[in-house]
Structure 1
Amino acid sequence: MFRKFDAGVLLLTKAAVVALLFVMFGATLAGVFFRYVLDDALTWSEEVARYSMVWLSFLGGGLVFREGGHVAVDLLLAHLPSRRLRLAVTLLAQVLVMAVLAVVLWQGVILMARGQYMTTAALRLPMYVPYAALPVGAGLMIYHLLVTGRGLIASDTDDANAPG
């Protein structure tokens, strides 16, 4: 049951990332075309591209979390003498990452509540729509960290190469 749910989360997130990439590309291309070819700027293209990029970054961040693809500085980890110590440092780092993501999620919800009466300049969307990227993205990153058991720290394959 959980595998189907997890596969659904992955499929939905990947589809949203691809769609957002196309929306961002299309809005940017349309903005450039209208401004420089037709000499008549679009009022909405920059805003669509900006908010698509924000959502793309937060949703894509969760997918990168899933694959362990975020930048990691593992110099300390590689020089620790025992596997048990490396595991303890990795666990501590993951707890710290989880705490930061929990704060981002919490503050994102607060920001959404504050933005519910504001609208975007060009599209007149409620500001909670772009602000929702923070709690949704942080929630997905927490989900992927819990499911895979890894985060910004080197993966198990790196442990095999480490001394000790």
Structure 2
Amino acid sequence: MKRLEKIFVAANSWTLILMLSAMTLIVGANITLRYLTAHSLPWADEAARYLMIWMTFSGAGLVLRSGGHVAITNLQDALPDLGQRLIRGAIVVGLLIFFCFMVYVGIQYAQRMQYQVTPALRLSFIYVYAAMPVGFGLLVLHLLLIAKPFLMAGTYKRSNGADADALPGGANG
């Protein structure tokens, strides 16, 4: 199971790296063309925008796994160990329900947009709006993979397997 988790996290990370690289190349080529030839790629801004949307939704699960999202822990810190675990359990259940609901909403919204096309790329908007259910689906998977250590000790795991107690905003931040 640990091996599959490492492969999943690595694939998610490399996908983000590839999207960021593509966005950088597209924007860089557009800027270069604009200054060298006084013409730009009409689709570059749109492609960069959609890559940014996909990166945001696809990367949220990796941020969740390292404890990088905003967290207010005053109540949790004031409770004894059992109370802290109960609050963390409620947080996991609440997040799981919310993420699953957003997968459903994202699918519905993407299906509604499938017949509209983007202005420059002429792609169906379903490919743009599919980022939402895919991203929230990844959040569900990441949450399920980190739920046990989070529930038991309130710690997050980095992609290299180390605890993220030292991370800003992590268990002790």
Task: Verify same fold: TM over 0.5.
Answer: yes
1:32-47 aligned within 5 A: 32-47=31-46
- One-letter amino acid of the structure 1 residue matched with residue 126 of structure 2: Y
Percent identity for Structure 1 against Structure 2: 31
TM-score (norm 2): 0.81
Q: Secondary structure at the match of 1:120?
A: coil
The CA deviation at 1:40 is: 1.3
Uncovered stretches (5+) of structure 1, i.e. residues with no partner: none
Q: Which segments of structure 1 move beyond 4 Å, counting only runs of 4 or more?
A: 156-159
> Does residue 97 of the first structure (1) align with residue 95 of the second (2)?
yes
1-structure distance, mates of 2:14, 2:60:
14
- One-letter amino acid of the structure 1 residue matched with residue 76 of structure 2: L
The CA deviation at 1:36 is: 4.0
1:23-62 aligned within 5 A: 23-62=22-61
1:1-164 aligned within 5 A: 2-80=1-79, 82-149=80-147, 150=150, 155=155, 157=165
Q: How many pairs align?
A: 157
The CA deviation at 1:37 is: 4.1
The CA deviation at 1:14 is: 1.1
2:161 corresponds to: none
The CA deviation at 1:87 is: 0.8
| Per-residue CA distance 1:24-76 (angstroms, 9 max, x = gap) | 11222223233344321221110111011111111111111122222211122
1-structure distance, mates of 2:78, 2:134:
36
2-structure distance, mates of 1:4, 1:90:
26
1-structure distance, mates of 2:96, 2:55:
21
- Aligned-residue Cα RMSD (Å) equals 2.2
